[in-house]
Structure 1
Amino acid sequence: MTPLVAIGNITHSFGAGPVLSGVSLSLARGSYTVLLGPSGSGKTTLLSILGGFLAPDEGSVLIDGVDCTRLAPARRPTATVFQDYALFPHLTAGANVGFGLRMKGVARAERDGRARAMLEVVGLAAAFDKKPHQLSGGQRQRVALARALLVEPAVLLLDEPLGALDLKLRRQMQDELKAIQRRVGTAFVHVTHDQEEAMALADHLVVMNHGRIEDQGPPERVYARPASIFAATFMGESTIVPGRMANGVIDTALGRFSAPAGASHVAIRPEHVALGGALAADVVDVVYQGSFKRVTARVNGVMLLARLPAETAIAAGDQAMLAIDARHGIALKE
């Protein structure tokens, strides 16, 4: 199937330093893609190039088969929701939502009708006549989302749209964003540095680092079988331990694990460590996290992370016997 978006070999620099280095990416129709990475990874620059706010030094951006590489934002089939929402404070929610149609010369009665319908889609039917200052942060975010969706873009771009919200509201908005995306069927591209947010929203996760794509795919695969050491450490917590390959297994200070040729390290997720094994451990730190205890223990010179049941009686300074589920050891190449 032909992708909706085809980004080909994009390179971009600010001054002497490259921000993106040969990035290629395909996005399917109706997909929810999340660009995940630390500050400076290039994710926001890539979003800006996709939206037309930056022109790449090299490479191409095709949307629905049309070369949009040098098109201005207003001339390409995209819309953007920014972190600060960029609502007009003197306009009502309805007028904000209908602003794009107003710029296209759509008559007031029609744009008001369509704005009301879109506000209903995002759960704000009663907010049509309210000004932005009368709305909560989550409501303002949904008004910005409705405004972007009303112009019927092929691709909706979201630049850390939940970054200004508190934790409880951010989690609520994650659920609402995913539900809205499924309802309207528009392809979403969402930038974040929050791993939990990325896993909650994405059906296509793209992990970026230093201007390159480290890994991409369904979030379950990226988490369970990351393609690089960086992806294993940025996408959730892991203990990374070096090892030596021989006869299809890799020997490490924490045990032996099956591995393909060329593997040099093993990543161990903390949920795959349990009490009651043969590994003698000195407990260094215990942090209560509500549903579990995050335990740091020294095992054969390695600082091992474990997630143990919240009711586990364990404290810093204890000695414990730990077990690692070798089936879940993640073999990685350098």
Structure 2
Amino acid sequence: MSASLVDISSVSHRFGQHPVLKDVSLKIEPGSYTILLGPSGSGKTTLLSILGGFVTPSEGKVFIRGEDCTAVPPAKRPTTTVFQDYALFPHMSVGANVGFGLRMQGVDAATRAARAREALALVGLATAFDKKPHQLSGGQRQRVALARALVIEPAVLLLDEPLGALDLKLRRQMQDELKAIQKRVGTAFIHVTHDQEEAMALADHCVVMNDGRIEDEGPPERVYARPATRFSATFMGESTILSGTVTEAKNETVTVATPPGAISLPGTSPVGAKIALAIRPEHLVLGATGGTIALGTATVSDVVFQGSFKRVLAASTQDPALQFIVKAPAAATVQPGDTIAVSCNAGDIILLTD
């Protein structure tokens, strides 16, 4: 079929009459860390369930290692799933939990124990073999669930919001550990989350989903810097969106009429086309000395100190409905009530055609 490890081909799914996936096609490469990112109801968890064999799609096919796995049950396909609630057996030791999948495969007790110890060492819990799950912290239980999934050596590891139950500091720590473990074992990870920062920290392949469709996919750097759609620009990080109409188009440059004024930038949209321009917060400049594209003036409504920068909200004086979202330097003296010039550089403006 394909050199891809996973090939999702034209998959659609309905719950009753309600469509939750709409003609989704996606390829997953060996050794990749793929994040399915999107809001609640976007279809990402349903897609993960189809990959794991817990749901059979209404239409389409799922191939894993070139074999049609669309109707293959979870226990017989080369995938394992790590759930948000860990799903550990409380009456079993950690070692027995990790070795449970091997037990179901008929592996003998001595081999199970040896491989369970190896898997626990891989996730930094070599001394936890004889403990019970209730004796471990949330982060440790998460790692036990990961060891249990990895010990059976799946071709694809599926993770359903695995860090959602952890506090912020532990989530950051587990992100680092997940990425390091994935690099060590080389297994393809497919991880569902609605957390954009988590996606950017972990993924080398980011898939942005919305309303049952894939809006955008690619390396997280590209998806963030040059999002393909308006939704992707506003969900994968924040953006200021300028709506406009193309008034001139020649030599692969377009001029767009926007509320703050005319803006020229590279593009090929036809004259009269309604388009949107996106600008990331770190690319907006406050003050008289700024970028090459003037965006008028704005009145500051809110300033929030966030450590390395200040997050500034400011309403355009030309169009009060236009809200600028700015990452200003931490030392900036801007405060609510100030009216200040806003600008950016032409190369930092993203032209969206939807």
What TM-score, normalized by structure 2, do the two folds share? Answer: 0.92
- Give the whole-Å Cα distance in 2 for the aligned partners of 1:130 and 1:308: 49
Aligned partner of 1:287 in structure 2 is 304
Aligned partner of 2:71 in structure 1 is 70
Q: Deviations over 1:33-58 (max 9, x none)?
A: 00000000000000000000000010
2:262 pairs with 1:261? no
- Give the whole-Å Cα distance in 1 for the aligned partners of 2:164 and 2:330: 29
Aligned partner of 1:104 in structure 2 is 105
- Give the whole-Å Cα distance in 2 for the aligned partners of 1:59 and 1:259: 38
The secondary structure found in structure 1 opposite 2:311 is strand
- Evaluate the alpha carbon distance shift between residue 327 and residue 71 of structure 1 in structure 2; reply closer, same or farther with a 3 A threshold: same
Q: Deviations over 1:236-282 (max 9, x none)?
A: 00011111222222232345141422361100111001123353221
Give the one of 322, 327, 331 matched to 2:342.
322
Aligned partner of 2:164 in structure 1 is 163
The correspondence of residues 89-238 of structure 1 with structure 2, limited to 5 A, is: 89-238=90-239
- Give the whole-Å Cα distance in 2 for the aligned partners of 1:298 and 1:209: 28
The correspondence of residues 21-60 of structure 1 with structure 2, limited to 5 A, is: 21-60=22-61
- Give the whole-Å Cα distance in 2 for the aligned partners of 1:285 and 1:139: 40
Greater Cα offset, 125-134 or 270-279: 270-279
AA in 2 matched with 1:13: R
**Paired residues, number:** 334
Aligned partner of 1:274 in structure 2 is 285
The secondary structure found in structure 2 opposite 1:313 is coil
- Give the whole-Å Cα distance in 2 for the aligned partners of 1:154 and 1:221: 27
The secondary structure found in structure 2 opposite 1:143 is helix
- Give the whole-Å Cα distance in 2 for the aligned partners of 1:211 and 1:152: 30
- Evaluate the alpha carbon distance shift between residue 254 and residue 130 of structure 1 in structure 2; reply closer, same or farther with a 3 A threshold: farther
List gaps (5 residues or longer) in structure 2: 289-293
Greater Cα offset, 146-155 or 318-327: 318-327
Aligned partner of 1:252 in structure 2 is 258
- Give the whole-Å Cα distance in 2 for the aligned partners of 1:172 and 1:159: 18
- Give the whole-Å Cα distance in 2 for the aligned partners of 1:257 and 1:184: 48
List gaps (5 residues or longer) in structure 1: none
Aligned partner of 2:328 in structure 1 is 308
Greater Cα offset, 213-222 or 316-325: 316-325
Greater Cα offset, 308-317 or 64-73: 308-317
Task: Quote how far apart the aligned CAs of 1:134 are.
Answer: 0.5
Say whether the 8 Å CA contact 1:41–1:208 is kept in structure 2: yes
Say whether the 8 Å CA contact 1:257–1:329 is kept in structure 2: no
RMSD: 1.1
- Give the whole-Å Cα distance in 2 for the aligned partners of 1:39 and 1:27: 23
AA in 1 matched with 2:305: Y
Task: Quote how far apart the aligned CAs of 1:288 are.
Answer: 1.4
Greater Cα offset, 313-322 or 132-141: 313-322
- Give the whole-Å Cα distance in 2 for the aligned partners of 1:143 and 1:257: 54
Greater Cα offset, 229-238 or 289-298: 289-298
What TM-score, normalized by structure 1, do the two folds share? Answer: 0.98
Q: Deviations over 1:142-193 (max 9, x none)?
A: 0000000001100000000000000000000000000000000000000000
Task: Quote how far apart the aligned CAs of 1:324 are.
Answer: 1.5
Task: Quote how far apart the aligned CAs of 1:287 are.
Answer: 1.3
